[in-house]
């Protein structure tokens, strides 16, 4: 009787969230699966083709290449993002002079749209009109100048750097919140025992935040897979497909070629691969529960 009464109380609070989840997540996912099993004509008519689109993907080297680029992009961005955001969050925890100004500078790019950031950095990377190459020449590193977005070796890392610059403020906030959540008793005990701040950071803080980093790594992988706007504006997948990711291939397949079934199949396969990677990350980074 008590449980029944509890359900009646909880149900009105759960239903709105469940309705939103079903409307904006479950229905689009189911609809995408249905589209991936169909062949669409130019007139908008469709007919069921089963798993033909998925079989077509297995023999599509472009999809394999973009899937590889997507994970390389996530790896490069993660290597840039996490050490930088951890260092900034830890530095801000030390209560530096001018902390408010630094916080503003770090968080300000977050409020800019992806289109604005992409166009700005596309200009900066320009080999003749941009500011990066002249700056390198001015400090005696002229040998490093190049066409950043026109070189297959640097196009993808250049876009990853842009994405990290634009979003690092969010990650700094999340990691700073993790630092604030750490028990002061443990940190004070370490200081009393003579541990330096660097030792506390390396041996106490980071291990205790392992579960937070596990979540953040998964979130970054999901975000990196959706960096469509940056790639589309800055390189459109070039040069020679070196910066092409799955999201951009899906866009061209659906709206340039009109093959909505194949584009939907690409999305479903990407979701499955991302779920597998998330489970793998969760298993690798799983730690014993720490109560504090």
Walk me through the domains of the chain, giving residue ranges and CATH numbers.
59-284 (1.10.3720.10)
Quick one: which of 162, 157, 211 has its CA closest to 182?
A: 211
Q: Please tell me the predicted confidence (pLDDT) of residue 47.
A: 82
Q: List C-alpha distances in Å: 44 to 110, 124, 237, 239.
A: 39, 42, 28, 33
Which among 93, 77, 72, 113 has a CA at the least distance from the CA of 172? 93
Cα atoms in the 13 Å half-sphere on the side-chain side of 48: 3
A 10 A CB-CB count for 143 gives: 8
Task: Please identify every stretch of the chain with a pLDDT value under 70, giving residue numbers as ranges.
Answer: 1-6, 42-44, 287-292
Contacts of 62 (CB under 8 A, 6+ apart): 241, 244, 249
The torsion of the CA quartet 95, 97, 100, 106, rounded to 10 degrees, works out to -90
Question: What is the structure's pLDDT at 283?
Answer: 86
pTM confidence score: 0.88
DSSP 8-state code for residue 121: H
pLDDT tens-place string over residues 209-237: 888 999 999 999 988 988 999 999 999 99
Residues 150-195 have pLDDT tens digits of 999 999 999 999 999 999 999 999 999 898 888 888 888 888 888 8
- Return d(Cα 264, Cα 274) in angstroms, integer: 15
At a CB cut-off of 8 Å and minimum separation 6, what does 222 contact? 274, 278
Query: DSSP E strands: which ranges in the chain?
Result: 38-40, 46-48
CB of 64 closer than 8 Å to CB of 269: no
* The pair of three-digit structure tokens given for residue 253, joined into one six-digit string: 């397949």
Question: Given this model, what pLDDT does residue 290 score?
Answer: 53
ω into 250 cis (within 30 of 0): no
pLDDT at 287: 63
Q: How confident is the model at residue 292, as a pLDDT?
A: 46
* C-alpha–C-alpha distance, residues 168 and 176, integer Å: 12
Nearest to 179 by CA among 199, 215, 203, 209: 209
CA–CA distances in Å: residue 238 to residues 56, 122, 232, 249, 252: 24, 13, 9, 12, 13
Q: What is d(CA 254, CA 135) in angstroms, rounded to the nearest whole number?
A: 41
Note the pLDDT of residue 92. 84
């Amino acid at each position: 009787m008590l449980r029944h009464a509890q359900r009646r109380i909880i149900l009105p609070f759960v239903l709105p969230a469940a309705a939103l989840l079903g409307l904006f997540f479950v229905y689009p996912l189911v609809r995408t699966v249905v589209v991936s099993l169909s062949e669409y004509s130019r007139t908008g008519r469709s007919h069921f083709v089963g798993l033909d689109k998925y079989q077509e993907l297995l023999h599509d080297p472009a999809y394999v290449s973009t899937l590889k680029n997507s994970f390389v992009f996530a790896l490069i961005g993660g290597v840039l993002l996490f050490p930088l955001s951890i260092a900034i969050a830890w530095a801000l925890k030390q209560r530096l002079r001018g902390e408010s100004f630094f916080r503003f500078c770090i968080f300000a790019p977050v409020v800019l749209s992806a289109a604005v950031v992409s166009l700005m950095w596309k200009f900066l990377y320009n080999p003749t009109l941009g500011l990066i190459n002249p700056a390198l020449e001015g400090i005696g590193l002229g040998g490093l100048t190049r066409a950043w977005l026109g070189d297959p070796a640097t196009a993808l890392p250049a876009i990853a750097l842009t994405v990290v610059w634009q979003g690092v403020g969010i990650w700094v906030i999340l990691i700073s919140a993790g630092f604030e959540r750490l028990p002061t008793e443990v940190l004070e005990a370490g200081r009393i025992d003579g541990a330096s701040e660097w030792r506390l950071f390396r041996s106490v803080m980071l291990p205790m935040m392992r579960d937070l980093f596990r979540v953040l790594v998964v979130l970054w992988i999901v975000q990196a897979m959706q960096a469509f706007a940056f790639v589309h504006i800055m390189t459109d997948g070039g040069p020679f497909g070196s910066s092409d990711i799955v999201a951009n291939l899906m866009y061209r397949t659906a709206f340039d070629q009109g093959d909505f079934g194949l584009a939907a199949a690409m999305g479903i396969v990407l979701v499955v691969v991302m779920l597998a990677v998330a489970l793998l990350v969760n298993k690798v980074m799983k730690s014993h529960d720490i109560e504090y």
